[in-house]
Structure formats: C-alpha cells, structure tokens
C-alpha cells in the first residue's frame, strides 16, 4: 500500500510518500519521497518556536511541498491512504496540516487517518537498517525498551511486541530536548540548542561539575529536567558574581582562572550538563531492561540524533554485563519528519486503532 503523510506539529512542515510491503508482523517501508521544510531561521531570533509564526509558515509551505512531490498532479491516482499528525504539538500548527489533508482527501477521494506524533518517533526504529539486520539474523526484538526523547517528550516505554506498548514513565516537567535548548540559551549558543550543545560538550570534561541527576534514585521510571536547568543557571550566576567579588571561594577562583586561561568553562558546563541529563536516562533504561528482560533498546525523537546518548548507554550496559542492540533511526528520521507519520498511521491501521481528526496538543501515547 502507498501512503502520503503530512506533519505540521511544530516547526517543520513535512511531506512523505511511503510504500509498505510484507506482513504486518514485519512490514517493510520504502521511502519514495521525503521533504522537510525547516522553519529554524524564522524562529531563531525568538530563541524558540512561535506558534502563530509556525502556523503562517505551514500554510505557506504545504501547497509548495505538495507541488514538489507531485509536480504533475497525478499522485492521488495511486495512493491508498493519507496520514496526518493530529497531536501532540502546537494546536494552531496541527490544524493547518489536518485541514490541508482533509482537502486533499476529498480531492483525491482517498481515506484520511490521524496519526500520533509520539508513536511516529517510537516506530522510527522500523526505519533503521539495524532492525532489518536483526530480523534477517532471526534475532528476537521483543520485549523491548523504547525511549522517546524530543523537545516535547521524555518517555520510557515497554514494547511487549510490535503492537503493544505500555508507558513506564515520563518527565514531570521539561522534556530532555527542551532542557538542552534552555541550557544552550544560557550558554549563548545558537538556536536550536541541542546540536550546538552536543558539539560544545565534545570539548569539555563531563566530570568537571557535579550537576544533580534528578530522580536518579527514585525507584520509578519518571524524569524531571527543570531542576537540572536551574542548577546550571545558578552555577553560571555564581561564577558571574564571583568575577565581581573580591573574595571568591577557592573553587570559584579555580573556575575563574580556567575561564581566563582557556575559556573552557562553557564547554565543561555543556559536557557536565549533558552527562547529568543522559546519566539518569541511561540508568533508568538499564533498570527497565533488567526488569522486563528486554532484547533490544530503541530510541527516537530529536535527542536521539545526539551520539553521546547511545555511547553512554552502551558503556553503562557493558558495565552491567549486558549486551543488547541499541537501535537508532537514521539521522533524518530522528528529527521531525512525515515518514514516521506514515509508519505510525500504518501500524495503527493494522491494529484498528484510530485517532480523531482534531488537533490535540496534549495527545497521549495511547487512547
Ligand atoms: O523530535 P524533534 O525534532 O521535535 C519534537 O518533537 O520536539 O526534537 C527536537 C528537539 C529539540 O529540543 C532539539 O534541541 C533536540 O531535539 N535535539 C538535540 C540534538 N538534536 C536535536 N538534543 C541534543 N543533542 C542533539 N544532537
Ligand atoms: Zn518530534
């Protein structure tokens, strides 16, 4: 079957054409078209996504992208389904995609299905060559632990099989990607902060500053990232105050000397923050792997583009004498895209799961 998918939940307008073959227990997705129009430059001066600007850009981009994927206007003739993100995300942005998809569905006379953005990130592991390889080797994939780490979500999931998921825990406040963006802003890094912070962290020492790893010792699978961001804020403020202080502490003196000597303090802050943020993610993932006897771990969402996360997870798994595959989607499918929306809509369709065609900013993983 052939699916056209549309994604407009945040600041990327995305279109994809995906063909699906094989049994529903092991579907194969062939990406025929995949276009993403990023709005990063428009939102960058504001340091974050402005919902009404996002809406305006989606309205402008959607017909342009359709023209790009269907220059001759013939695509509708051999499409079986249109899929569109209905949530979670920014509601004004979501509505633009839903309305555009509704018009297309009428024009082409093709059924329209709503899709869940979080499920899109979760199912992105199906787009990884690692999944195909494990299947070819007849390795067991499930039960699996899934991690969705993005600008809006930090969710740990138990996947009993390809179709059955249970949410084990999530963040109480900021998402991990959001905390990367906020800390990046404190460090005067360009928007979006995550990739810039990862680059800066490579030059720093992750053990230089012992930032708190929140909720680390709580025996649940929940997370909290707003305290970590505040700890970074206070740390930087203290340093700033010490610079104007005639009697800084010995530790502050040491840090100030380092700023003057090598300008490395920002890199150390970035590396130490990143370590604290990922340490708690990896520790809870490993605990879940052990508790549920997971065969694989898969990670999706914007933060899965960060190479340090799987590296640290692998290192920690090794320390715990565990060896299991970590599946990450190819870079293009870590970030928001419409291919994952086609995948999520297909996977829900075969299970008879449907989502109302109504923008829902706080849509959960299960309905
Ligand atoms: O999945 P995504 O594109 O959109 C949402 O659904 O939120 O994720 C965007 C988030 C942003 O917070 C961005 O800073 C973060 O993913 N991100 C990263 C990296 N690349 C993107 N965070 C850490 N390291 C990265 N390399
Ligand atoms: Zn996303």
Q: By alpha-carbon position, which residue is closest to atom 23 of ligand 1?
A: 194
Residue 336 alpha carbon, nearest atom of ligand 1: 3
Which pLDDT value is given to residue 248?
75
Asked if 2 and 19 touch (Cβ cutoff 8 Å), the reply is yes
Mean pLDDT for 279-291 is 97
Position 125 pLDDT exceeds 90? yes
CB-CB contact of 156 with 168 (8 Å): yes
pLDDT, residue 263, reads 55
- The ligand 1 site (C-beta within 6 Å) comprises 10, 150-152, 177-178, 180-181, 192-195, 198, 301-303, 305-306, 335-336
Q: Please, what are the domains in the chain?
A: 2-123+332-351 (3.30.420.40), 139-328 (3.30.420.40)
Q: How confident is the model at residue 255 (pLDDT cuts 50, 70, 90)?
A: confident
Q: Give the model's pLDDT for residue 119.
A: 97
How confident is the model over 4-12, as a mean pLDDT?
97
- Rounded to the nearest angstrom, the distance between the alpha carbon of 48 and the centre of ligand 1 is 12
Q: Is the pLDDT of residue 2 over 90?
A: yes
The pTM of this model reads 0.94
Model pLDDT, residue 114: 98
Q: How many whole angstroms from 58 Cα to the centroid of ligand 1?
A: 19
Predicted local distance difference test score (pLDDT) of residue 292: 98
pLDDT of 127 above 70: yes
pLDDT of 290 over the 70 cut: yes
> DSSP assignment of 135-198, as one string?
HHTT----SEEEEEESSS-EEEEEESSSS-EEEEEEBSSS-HHHHHHHHHHHTTPPSSHHHHHH
- Residues with Cβ within 8 Å of 230's Cβ and at least 6 positions away in sequence, in order, are none
- The sign of the CA dihedral 314, 161, 15, 51 is negative
Pocket test for ligand 1, best of 198, 301, 303, 335 (most atoms within 8 A of CB): 303
Number of Cα atoms under 13 Å in the Cβ half of residue 301:
24
Q: With 80 as the cut, is the pLDDT of residue 246 above it? A: no
pLDDT (0 to 100) of residue 262: 54
């Amino acid at each position: 079957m052939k699916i056209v998918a549309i994604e407009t939940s945040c600041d990327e307008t995305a279109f994809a054409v995906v063909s699906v073959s094989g049994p529903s227990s092991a579907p194969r997705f062939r990406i025929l078209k995949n276009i993403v129009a990023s709005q990063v430059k428009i939102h960058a001066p504001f340091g974050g996504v402005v919902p009404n600007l996002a809406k305006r850009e989606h309205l402008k981009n959607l017909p342009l992208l359709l023209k790009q994927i269907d220059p001759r206007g013939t695509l509708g003739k051999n499409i079986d389904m249109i899929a569109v993100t209905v949530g979670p995300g920014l509601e004004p942005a979501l509505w633009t995609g839903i309305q555009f998809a509704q018009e297309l569905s009428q024009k082409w006379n093709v059924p329209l299905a709503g899709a869940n953005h979080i499920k899109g990130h979760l199912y992105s592991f199906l787009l990884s060559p690692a999944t195909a390889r494990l299947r070819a080797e007849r390795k067991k994939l499930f039960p699996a632990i899934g991690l969705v780490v993005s600008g809006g979500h930090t969710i740990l999931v138990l996947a009993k099989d390809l179709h059955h998921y249970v949410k084990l825990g999530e963040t109480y406040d900021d998402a991990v990607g959001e905390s990367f963006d906020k800390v990046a802003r404190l460090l005067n890094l360009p928007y979006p902060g995550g990739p810039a912070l990862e680059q800066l962290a490579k030059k720093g020492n992750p053990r230089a500053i012992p930032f708190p790893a929140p909720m680390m010792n709580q025996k649940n699978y929940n997370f909290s990232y707003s305290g970590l961001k505040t700890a970074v804020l206070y740390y930087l403020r203290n340093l700033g105050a010490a610079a104007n202080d005639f009697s800084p502490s010995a530790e502050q003196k040491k840090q100030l000397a380092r700023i003057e000597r090598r300008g490395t303090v920002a890199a150390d802050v970035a590396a130490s923050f990143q370590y604290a943020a990922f340490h708690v993610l990896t520790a809870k993932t490993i605990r879940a792997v052990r508790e549920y006897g997971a065969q694989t771990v898969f990670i999706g969402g914007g933060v899965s583009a960060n190479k340090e996360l799987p590296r640290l997870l692998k290192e920690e798994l090794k320390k715990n004498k565990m060896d299991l595959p970590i599946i990450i989607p190819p870079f293009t499918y870590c970030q928001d895209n419409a291919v994952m929306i086609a995948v999520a809509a297909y996977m829900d369709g075969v299970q008879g799961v449907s989502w109302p065609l109504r923008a829902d900013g706080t849509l959960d993983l299960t309905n």
